[in-house]
């Protein structure tokens, strides 16, 4: 009988210990989540002034081919943004949104740099990373068989 009582007490103690350990682990997890939340809420926000100036932007298809190089002129407000390709007139770029770490712009429709004779409308999401303008272009091509969509990664460096 004493042996049974000892085993029961041991089981209760082990159960309590694990519960206490779990509580400590849960508290550590909550502290870590709170720290991560605080870090993400204080992460850098972007402003149009941060990207004002000239940028040499290079985009490719998803496989890294079909390179298109443009010059982006960004201003400290939503007016006056343009994009110019080789042997092209400047195209107006509309700033759609500035939120968090991202700037969303649109351009077009204009004749595609990639598909001759095809109109395209683009929507770009850019972020500043290590002094570069990094993002993705969603290109919507108006083809005879219906819209075709391509995603093109981009990277821009400040032009001298």
Domain region containing 8: 1-43
- The first and second tokens of residue 114, run together, are 């990639």
Write out pLDDT tens, residues 11-21.
444 444 444 44
Residues 71 and 30 in one domain: no
Residues 31 and 55 in one domain: no
Residues 53 and 106 in one domain: yes
Neighbours of 30 (CB within 10 A): 10
Q: How many domains does the chain have?
A: 2
Q: Which of 26, 43, 60 is the last residue of a domain?
A: 43
Residues whose CB falls within 8 Å of the CB of residue 23, separated by 6 or more in sequence, listed in order: none
Write out pLDDT tens, residues 73-101.
999 999 999 999 999 999 999 999 999 99
CA distances from 127 to 51, 57, 105, 107, 112 (A): 9, 13, 12, 17, 24
Residues 52 and 32 in one domain: no
Give pLDDT, residue 38: 43
Write out pLDDT tens, residues 19-58.
444 344 444 434 434 444 344 444 579 999 999 999 999 9
Residues 32 and 52 in one domain: no
User: Does 133 or 6 have the greater pLDDT score?
Assistant: 133
Note whether 48 and 103 are within 8 A (CB). Answer: yes
Give pLDDT, residue 43: 57
Return d(Cα 38, Cα 11) in angstroms, integer: 40
Q: What is the pTM of this model?
A: 0.71
Residues 53 and 96 in one domain: yes
Return d(Cα 7, Cα 122) in angstroms, integer: 71
User: Of the candidates 122, 129, 124, which has an alpha carbon nearest to the alpha carbon of residue 98?
Assistant: 124
Residues 82 and 113 in one domain: yes
Distance between the two ends of the chain, CA-based, in angstroms? Answer: 88
């Amino acid at each position: 009988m004493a042996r049974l009582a000892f085993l029961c007490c041991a089981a209760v103690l082990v159960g309590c210990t694990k519960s206490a350990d779990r509580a400590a682990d849960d508290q550590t997890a909550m502290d870590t989540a709170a720290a991560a939340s605080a870090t993400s809420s204080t992460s850098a926000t972007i402003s149009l002034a941060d990207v004002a100036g000239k940028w040499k932007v290079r985009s490719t298809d998803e496989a890294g081919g079909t390179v298109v190089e443009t010059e982006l002129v960004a201003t400290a407000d939503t007016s006056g943004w343009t994009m110019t390709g080789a042997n092209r007139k400047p195209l107006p770029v509309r700033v759609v949104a500035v939120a968090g770490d991202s700037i969303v712009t649109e351009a077009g429709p204009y004749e595609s740099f990639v598909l001759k004779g095809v109109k395209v409308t683009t929507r770009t999401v850019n972020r500043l990373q290590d002094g570069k303008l990094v993002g993705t272009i969603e290109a919507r091509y108006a083809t005879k068989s219906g819209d075709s969509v391509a995603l093109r990664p981009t990277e821009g460096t400040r032009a001298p």
